[in-house]
Amino acid sequence: MKIDVVTIFPEYLDPLRAALLGRAIDRGLIEVGVHDLRNWTHDVHRAVDDAPYGGGPGMVMKPQIWGPALDEVCGERARLVVPTPAGKPFTQALAHEYAAEEHLVFACGRYEGIDQRVIDDAARRMPVDEVSIGDYVLVGGEAAVLVVVEAVVRLLPGVLGNPVSAEQDSFSDGLLEGPSYTRPEVWRDLAVPEVLRSGNHRLIDRWRRDRALERTAERRPDLLDALPEGSLDKADEAV
């Protein structure tokens, strides 16, 4: 998979080359390009923003800089992702969709965001998603790109040491994952639940499913409401 990011703060994307993502690059599983938007400016100040039409506070990123930048970076097979708090929510399902793409291009907004015509124009040539990583407002799109790329890359074949761990994570079956424990058996008077030490895998699976159901009902009842019909069996409904 090829990942390109266009930003006015290329150094903000340095963590893409660290830890799990860095190893994926070293092993040739992903190719990452980070591009300084100011390379497409032509004035001495290298300005990328201008005052908004209609007035109001803040500045808007200029289309005549973003347009040529995306023309050059996107190529033939790109899916363009534009982080914005006004976008559709980024979810695990969308992460799986992105993981199946050949080329993802991210356009990092700053200030009040990017002139809407940049997004509308790109959408005439390629799939474009405006996505939000949550109901809060960041200063720029770079942190959102780090979040999205990490969620996507860990789903690529060969990236995680044990691919089963991604299959069992929160959201894969529509529920939050329950609690996890490791050694020692008792720590600060708190014991690991007996059943996890029983070696009885049928009971352990049931216990994990019950804790996942409980946790989801308590913290994210919206997820239970969104489960497809028939997802819960009789034992689930008893929880």
Should residue 10 be labelled a site residue for ligand SAM when binding is judged by CB under 6 A? no
Q: Give the shortest CB-46-to-ligand SAM separation in angstroms.
A: 19
Q: What three-state secondary structure class fits 104?
A: strand
Nearer to ligand SAM, 132 or 170 (CB): 132
Per the CB < 8 A criterion, the answer to whether 34 and 5 are in contact is yes
> How far apart (Å, rounded) are the C-alpha atoms in residues 11 and 7?
9
154 flagged as catalytic: yes
97 neighbors 129 (Cβ within 8 angstroms): no
36 is catalytic: no
**CB 143, min distance to ligand SAM, A:** 8
The interface with ligand SAM within residues 156-215 (CB under 6 A) comprises: none
Q: Is 48 in the site for ligand SAM (CB under 6 A)?
A: no
Determine contact, residues 88/98, Cβ cutoff 8 Å. no
Beta strands in 47-174 (DSSP E): 49-50, 60-61, 78-89, 103-107, 128-132
Are the C-beta atoms of 153 and 20 separated by less than 8 Å? yes
Comparison of 146 and 155: residue with beta carbon closer to ligand SAM: 146
Task: Say if residues 4 and 133 touch (Cβ distance below 8 Å).
Answer: no
Q: Contact between 138 and ligand SAM (CB under 6 A)?
A: yes
Residue 84 CB, shortest distance to ligand SAM, in Å, is 5
Smallest gap from residue 120 Cβ to ligand SAM (A): 15
Q: Which two tokens stand for residue 118?
A: 């940049």
Whether residue 111 is annotated as binding a ligand: the answer is no
Whether 55 has a binding-site annotation, put simply, is no
| 3-state secondary structure at position 158 | coil
Enumerate binding residues for ligand SAM (CB under 6 A): 83-86, 108-110, 112-113, 132-134, 136-141, 144
Active site residues: 85, 112, 154, 169
Pick out the residues of the known binding site: 109, 133-138
